[in-house]
Amino acid sequence: MSTNIKVEKLQEGLKTRLVGKYIFFAHEVGSTNDWARELAELGAPEGTVAIAETQTAGRGRLDRKWISPKGGLWFSIILRPKLKPQETVKLVFLAGLAVAETIRELYGLKTETKWPNDVLIGGRKVCGILSEMKTVGEKVDYAIVGVGVNANLDVEKDFPKELRETATSIQKALGRKVALEELFKALLEKMDNLYQVSLKEGLTPILLKWKGFASFLGCKVEVSSDGERLKGIASDVDNVGALVLRLKDGSVKHIFVGEVSMQCSKLKPNNHQTSV
């Protein structure tokens, strides 16, 4: 199995209504999110995807560096949802759910979602999502959903030391490489399906399904948010996508932006059903 992406196979047999109707491929770009934003500004239609074999300036939230060597899937989707901005921010859960379900279905691996934008295998990050949007007044002009999946990466060789304990790859979990084009198409198909649901019903049913993969719910966690560190039980993710943290004194905090580290020695079984 090669780490090269076969461009001619990226669209072959793709069964989607919207996502991936136009696919832009590059061997190397700075960030596919930036590329997709440029395409969106030029008027690229909804569903356009920008994918690159490597990124030289892959980004996480708060401009953190995202390691993106050859062998991973680094792509961004342009969406123009007729949803309110508050609803559109929850697209991050749609992408997380799509990745968690697809990896489980294709390879039988147990996946977990972690608030707000991670997918984990064995407690380690296999995927990160960066969702950004441009609004005009109360309307969403476009949203860019950037997905990074550590597919055929060698954790020891491809990651710097400080990430080797926290990051993983499908290759590591499965013990073999996977076909990147097959994984890419399955992800687009899943996202396409979920997106159709969200346009009709909003993101709430998607968030509920996402919670079915969220093993951190009910666990003791430590959250760093706005320079503050808080300990508590991650009791829920509310309807706007905020983490609901129950503190020791019984009070409840809704956290909109932050970083969760888990202290659950024993994670809840992942039963893939909605937890609320």
Q: What residues line the site for ligand BT5 (CB under 6 A)?
A: 31-33, 55, 58-61, 64, 66-68, 74-76, 117, 125, 128-130, 146-148, 150, 163, 167
Angle at 192 between CA 190 and CA 194, to 5 degrees: 70
Is the CB of residue 209 less than 8 Å from the CB of residue 97?
Answer: yes
Find the shortest distance in angstroms from Cβ 248 to ligand BT5.
26
Residue whose structure tokens are 């093993």: 215
Find the shortest distance in angstroms from Cβ 16 to ligand BT5.
19
Find the shortest distance in angstroms from Cβ 65 to ligand BT5.
6
Q: Which is nearer to ligand BT5, 31 or 152 (CB)?
A: 31
Find the shortest distance in angstroms from Cβ 203 to ligand BT5.
19
Residue-by-residue DSSP string for 6-61:
-GGGSSTT---SSTTSSEEEEEEES-HHHHHHHHHHTTPPTT-EEEEEEESS-B-G
Find the shortest distance in angstroms from Cβ 104 to ligand BT5.
19
Residue 200 burial by CB count (10 A; 0-12/13-18/19+): exposed, middle or buried?
exposed
The neighbour count for residue 155, using CB atoms within 10 Å, is 17
Q: Which is nearer to ligand BT5, 154 or 202 (CB)?
A: 154
Taking the chain, what is the end-to-end CA distance rounded to the nearest angstrom? Answer: 40
Q: Which is nearer to ligand BT5, 90 or 125 (CB)?
A: 125
Q: Which is nearer to ligand BT5, 68 or 152 (CB)?
A: 68
How far, in Å, are 109, 121, 158, 229 from residue 72 at the CA level?
17, 15, 10, 32
Residue whose structure tokens are 């991936």: 20
Q: Which is nearer to ligand BT5, 89 or 130 (CB)?
A: 130
Pairing status of strand 252-255 against strand 259-262: unpaired
Q: Which is nearer to ligand BT5, 31 or 88 (CB)?
A: 31
Find the shortest distance in angstroms from Cβ 159 to ligand BT5.
7
Position of minimal CB gap to ligand BT5: 128
